[in-house]
Amino acid sequence: MASAVQPILQELDRIIEENAARLEVRTICEVVDAGQRFPVRSLCLGSASREAPAVGFFGGVHGLERIGTQILLSFLASFLEQLRRDEQLERELAAVRLVFMPLVNPAGMSRGTRSNANGVDLMRNAPVESRERVAFLVGGQRVGPFLPWYRGPRGGPMEAESSALCELVRSELLGRPFSMALDCHSGFGLRDRIWFPHAHTRRPFARLAEVHALMARFGELWPEHPYLFEPQSRRYLTHGDLWDFLCAEAEASGRVFLPLTLEMGSWRWVRKSPRQLLYRLGMFNPLPPDRLQRVQRNHLVWLNFLCRAARTYREWLPVGEDRARHERGGMTDWFGEAA
């Protein structure tokens, strides 16, 4: 039963052991399922200053979607490896904080389920109610844990894993002048998408101009990139999104926090190899090892870009008329309004 998660936990342990001097490792919570204990850990590196910009990487919120965790572990391992040889990278790292929570839902990964051991979908678990028409079931439901997308009992506390994620975001990201997050998922559509808030409403995100400027910068550097950038609300609306919940906190503080979701278009892997459909994990993960490696490699450019963009945010974060221009660009590109 635990076989799906064991190699991933071993890889995480190996990275921690080999880089003990470099990484600040914390067990934010512990989950017990069927007599097994699973630590939920965060790994931080880089600047210790509270004023340094930061980027947080999150994976494995949905236990079935192993690929998100695998991408983050391979990125972290290669980044640490490069640090040993590259003094320039070492100097750059001194100006930015990197935060990793690569496996938010280890019990779900062990069970091979989207939800955690209590049957709760962690990405529907925040106290955020959509007042608009959410997608049936997929938008989050309170009927019970026997159906997917269960939000947890009404009025109940958040699940340990969701609380741990929020606590880490508050302590490591929100207090800074600038921070970003990337939450890695798979399972939707044929294309790789980068989603930004909101999930609970079609109203534009308060940081639309900043997101537009970030994506324009990426497009200038990598014109051939594979991603489709869009607000999640363009696809479907949900209750309980953790990132919408944390966004509201950041907005109240006036700090810039840009939470993004990488949604890997896994249907493409299925189309290339329909045999994947025979396996439940195949809908969410590239199964042949060579394809897994290719998928991991393909996203390294984007992950490296985010680290660099966080470090150099003062160079591209738009202000004044430039900000107004990006705001109009965002409205035209994503909300169908003429500039």
Question: Element (H or E) spanning 80, and its range?
Answer: helix 66-83
The Cα-based distances of 230 to 14, 220, 332 in angstroms read: 36, 17, 12
- In contact, 71 and 78? CB cutoff 8 Å: no
Nearer to Zn ion, 105 or 296 (CB): 105
Burial call 144-157: b when 16+ CB within 10 Å, e when fewer: ebeeebbbbeeeee
Closest CA to 201 of 134, 148, 149, 249: 134
Nearer to Zn ion, 62 or 97 (CB): 62
- In contact, 234 and 334? CB cutoff 8 Å: yes
CB of 285 to Zn ion, least distance (A): 12
> Which span (11-19, 63-71, 85-93, 245-253) binds Zn ion, by CB under 5 A?
63-71
66 belongs to the binding site for Zn ion (CB under 5 A): no
* Out of 62, 200, 299, 311, the residue judged to bind Zn ion by CB under 5 A: 62
Number of residues that bind Zn ion (CB under 5 A): 3
Q: Which tokens belong to 90?
A: 């070492």
Nearer to Zn ion, 177 or 282 (CB): 282
> Which span (37-45, 55-63, 169-177, 236-244) binds Zn ion, by CB under 5 A?
55-63
Nearer to Zn ion, 42 or 186 (CB): 186
> Which span (2-10, 64-72, 139-147, 150-158) binds Zn ion, by CB under 5 A?
64-72
Q: How many CA atoms lie within 13 A of 303 on its CB side?
A: 26
How far is Cα 49 from Cα 272, in angstroms, rounded to an integer?
Answer: 46
Angle between helix axes 242-253 and 160-169 (nearest 10 degrees) is 30
CB of 186 to Zn ion, least distance (A): 7
Nearer to Zn ion, 68 or 204 (CB): 68
CB of 183 to Zn ion, least distance (A): 8
Closest residue to Zn ion using C-beta atoms? 185
- In contact, 110 and 61? CB cutoff 8 Å: no
Site for Zn ion in 169-188 (CB under 5 A): 185
CB of 323 to Zn ion, least distance (A): 32
CB of 34 to Zn ion, least distance (A): 23
Nearer to Zn ion, 62 or 200 (CB): 62
CB of 114 to Zn ion, least distance (A): 7
CB of 227 to Zn ion, least distance (A): 17
Beta strands in the chain (DSSP E): 24-33, 36-46, 54-59, 97-101, 178-186, 193-196, 228-231, 256-264
Site for Zn ion in 237-296 (CB under 5 A): none
Residues of the shown chain interacting with Zn ion in the complex, contacts defined by CB under 5 A? 62, 65, 185
